[in-house]
Amino acid sequence: MYTQSFNVQDSTGLKSVTPPAVENPEAQARFDQKIDADGKIEPQDWMPDGYRKTLVRQISQHAHSEIVGMLPEGNWISRAPSLKRKAILIAKVQDEGGHGLYLYSAAETLGTSRGQMLDALHSGKAKYSSIFNYPTLNWADVGVIGWLVDGAAISNQIPLCRCSYGPYARAMIRVCKEESFHQRQGYEALLTMMGGTDAQKAMVQDAVNRWWWKCLAMFGPPDADSPHSAQAMRWGIKRISNDDLRQKFIDATVPQARVLGVTLPDPDLKWNEERQHHDYGQIDWDEFWSTVNGNGPCNKERLATRVKAHNDGQWVRDAALAYSSKQLNKTLKDAA
Ligand code: 3HC
């Protein structure tokens, strides 16, 4: 459904922005040339301060989303309906943890430590994806998270495999391969439920009703209200705008919903022959911003669980540090 071959054109029209302040004209010229030639910027290369800050902001928010994203589904590991589903869910949640680690590592190459990024998350300063602040009420929610949440995540992340910053782009290649499996396993779990009893079918429809609009909001505010998009696209960090990605996701999902046998909860959703895209209804942006700003149904619970997990893991970090300093001392002693 969504694979590396989901190759789409870059959005146009957002690239004419004021260039950032020139801090080092020669280095800036080399940087601009590389960006214009679609080359990769690597950690040792000179880069404008704004480029570095934008990347740290986006990559760290992305990493936080991966590890907070483990929580709504992790809740269901002990309640999965069969051993097969439990094994798949454990693998998926573990993958999300791995994605967080690749992404924190990519952000660290820009000079910000993992500790600083985690402090920002745990103190509530840093953002993570709005979608993980909603509750997972029943097993169908786990399938819908795979199908729609991971489906939306992949649509947004495949263009990031072509991001101008090398470490982020390379991390995203592996992340997208794994996300593709996540999306398929969710869809397959829902297909199984839709072949079951009326009660199971109703659970799937209910879960789709609750998650659909939240997934559309995941792509971020409309282009006209997105403060970072224009510059991020000029720098080749973002390749496709929030609205264009949202539209692609909707167009790809409508036929999948038809095969599944569920109705997407939008009376305005219909094919527009002229645009060759689906028209869709109004997203509730007030609700989105309220959630992003900490007032969603599960924000406080998610953050508290994350902080507790971090604190409970202190002994592991202490043990790893003690072991590495013991190894270092041994190496120094052997070398003396
Ligand atoms: N949730 C929370 N905050 C959001 C958001 C969302 N869904 N969408 C946008 N925002 C925030 C932005 O972070 C920014 O806040 P800031 O100025 O405080 O940093 C503000 O809203 C304005 O939005 P912009 O569109 O101007 O911001 P960006 O250019 O950064 O675009 C983005 C937002 C499209 C999410 C972009 O950052 C991006 O593509 N990020 C990488 C992918 C990512 O982080 N995905 C999150 C989901 S990961 C996931 O789902 C895990 C998977 O395993 C399921």
Cα 291 to averaged position of ligand 1 atoms, centre (Å): 13
Residue nearest (by alpha carbon) to ligand 1 atom 8: 220
**Mean pLDDT over all residues of the chain?**
93
Q: Is the pLDDT of residue 191 over 70?
A: yes
Query: What tens digit of pLDDT does each residue of 16-51 get?
Result: 344 455 568 999 999 999 999 999 999 999 999 999
58 lines ligand 1 (CB under 6 A): yes
**Whole-angstrom distance between the N-terminal and C-terminal Cα of the chain?**
58
Beta carbons within 8 Å of 77's beta carbon, 6+ residues apart:
86, 89, 90, 93
Question: pLDDT band at 1, cuts 50/70/90?
Answer: very low
What is the three-class DSSP state of 41?
Answer: strand
Taking residues 80-87, what's their average pLDDT?
97
Question: pLDDT band at 307, cuts 50/70/90?
Answer: very high
Conformational region of residue 111, where left means phi above 0, alpha means psi within -120 to 50, and beta covers everything else: left
291 lines ligand 1 (CB under 6 A): no
220 lines ligand 1 (CB under 6 A): yes
pLDDT for the residue 336: 87
Query: What tens digit of pLDDT does each residue of 167-188 get?
Result: 999 999 999 999 999 999 999 9
Question: CA-to-CA distance for 129 and 292, rounded, in angstroms?
Answer: 8
Q: Is the pLDDT of residue 237 over 70?
A: yes
Query: What tens digit of pLDDT does each residue of 50-66 get?
Result: 999 999 999 999 999 99
pLDDT for the residue 3: 39
- Tell me how crowded residue 169 is: count the other CB atoms within 10 A of its CB: 18
Residue nearest (by alpha carbon) to ligand 1 atom 15: 127
pLDDT for the residue 22: 56
One-letter-per-residue 3-state SS of 159-204: HHHHCCEHHHHHHHHHHHHHHHHHHHHHHHHHHHHHCCCHHHHHHH
> How large a percentage of the chain has pLDDT more than 70?
93
The dihedral through the CA atoms of 156, 158, 161, 162 has a sign that is negative
Cα 121 to averaged position of ligand 1 atoms, centre (Å): 14
Q: Which atom of ligand 1 is nearest to the CA of 179?
A: 53
- Tell me how crowded residue 90 is: count the other CB atoms within 10 A of its CB: 14
pLDDT for the residue 221: 98
221 lines ligand 1 (CB under 6 A): yes
Taking residues 259-273, what's their average pLDDT?
98
